[in-house]
A and B are shown apart, each in its own frame.
Chain A
């Protein structure tokens, strides 16, 4: 019983700013669902909350997260629709792409950075680039494996007088480039705005047959004998890695009447060599921002000392 009572108190509290919700009324509705209809507590809570939202004519984002909001680091955010509190620096502000968006940009703390969005309807004070804030009651959001946070009407924004060091969430891997996957080398992308899908036999999976635009990239596998990392080099880093420019690659393909010659040439040049690659991860891929070919002979001394002590 007391459990349901606690839930009821929390729900009532969430609505206290908007409508008059009595704790007894909430408890009664919860009891009906949980005890009579055997609805799990979480679902009952959700359903009761929704019914009050309907009655009050407000959105879920407009009510406070109750006691759920937790202090978090941006790199720890890996779940959708969580209420969190952040202490962050505004690392970047971008031009909003839609009139409903008041501000969009990048927030950072020691653990890394995360995108944020504030909507016009939430009517919040503006964040300033480079300033540090304590934000409470922001909601996490997920799109294609990438997380962001939404500021909302209940978010409180307090400027804080401390310098937050924005961490780098890039990862670095080192190892031999042991494979180049298909879709590497000279490729064609869909020219539709915001599409950029790689064409398969001249077809875009979304837009059908299109006149593709040439691009260069490498989908490589870096392996250090312990772990395997899939790494994508974009046109710029591919050009830097191979010394082959997009124009040269097109010429090579033209001469051979085959785009595959570009991948073959790259493969012969890079496979089996050691690289250190650095960049953000996106899904299962590491996007190479920087890389270095490990061209120096390593010093065997440290390993040798260890080996002799074990021998």
Chain B
């Protein structure tokens, strides 16, 4: 990296929790110690930064000596785990102050760690957490569905090196992420004038509805 060039800021990728949590492979694209670390998304894209909006359902200080906050943030497909400690003072103090449930927007870096049984867990180390409104959450769901569909569409392109990499690393059909996007979008439709009623648009994918 020459001293007079400003490194390009990494784009914040949009992925639903189900895809984000399926990711496990991280890589660098140069030998440089400070080179960005990327998480390989299963739909074939590299993510050094993510933007997500969801419902903060729980928060807990899991630190020993220092505060170390864990937040569970839920989207229509699953749960993101967000960890903020002393090196993310603003995000940590936001988590401390927030009362779940609340809609929150998170900009952050993907982090992976290997568990004792050898599986890889993925979480987000936040650069910022802010409370947002329901419309922002809905907008994120639609946008994330769009980006997911775009990635799935480009997955098999020969020139898509991250598609190739994802096929090698993850032996998983990408169609499941299209289905997740459909489900996420349908969950938004349910909140308009058809709220509560069964829209009956997708009878072949029954959702177990707990009876009150």
Contacts and interface: CB of A to CB of B under 8 A. Distances in A.
Contacts of A296: 135
Contact of B105 (A228, A264, A273, A298): A273
Contacts of A257: none
Given A221-B9, A223-B51, A272-B107, A300 B178 contact: no
Contact of A308 (B6, B90, B128, B182): B182
A157 B11 CA distance: 47
B130 A271 contact: yes
B149 A307 contact: yes
A294 B143 CA distance: 13
A300 B188 contact: yes
Nearest to B192: A297
Interface string B121-144: 000000110111111101111111
Given A272-B105, A310-B149, A311-B182, A267 B128 contact: yes
B53 interface: yes
A225 B11 contact: yes
Given A223-B51, A310-B178, A272 B104 contact: yes
Contacts of A224: 143
A307 B145 contact: yes
B13 A310 contact: no
A92 B145 CA distance: 46
Nearest to B205: A311
A272 B139 contact: no
B40 interface: no
B36 to A, nearest CB: 14
Q: How large is the interface on A (under 10, 10 to 19, 20 to 34, 35 or more residues)?
A: 20 to 34
Nearest to A175: B143
A226 interface: yes
B104 to A, nearest CB: 7
A298 B188 CA distance: 10
Nearest to B176: A311
Contact of A297 (B53, B104, B138): B138
Contact of A271 (B8, B105, B149, B189): B105
A243 to B, nearest CB: 16
B186 interface: yes
A224 B152 CA distance: 18
Contacts of A178: 12, 51, 107, 128
B149 A306 contact: yes
B71 to A, nearest CB: 14
B147 interface: yes
A267 B91 CA distance: 12
B185 interface: yes
B181 interface: yes
Interface string B1-27: 000001011111110000000000000
A227 interface: yes
A272 B135 contact: no
B146 interface: yes
A267 B94 CA distance: 12
B136 A307 contact: no
Given A178-B107, A179-B128, A298 B182 contact: no
A311 B14 CA distance: 19
B51 A295 contact: no
Interface of B: 6, 8-14, 51, 53, 90, 94, 104-107, 127-128, 130-136, 138-147, 149, 152-153, 175, 178-179, 181-182, 185-186, 188-189
Closest 3 A-B residue pairs measured CB to CB?
A272-B105, A297-B138, A225-B14
Given A225-B144, A308-B182, A311-B178, 9 more contacts: A176-B51, A226-B147, A230-B9, A267-B128, A268-B94, A272-B51, A303-B142, A304-B189, A311-B175
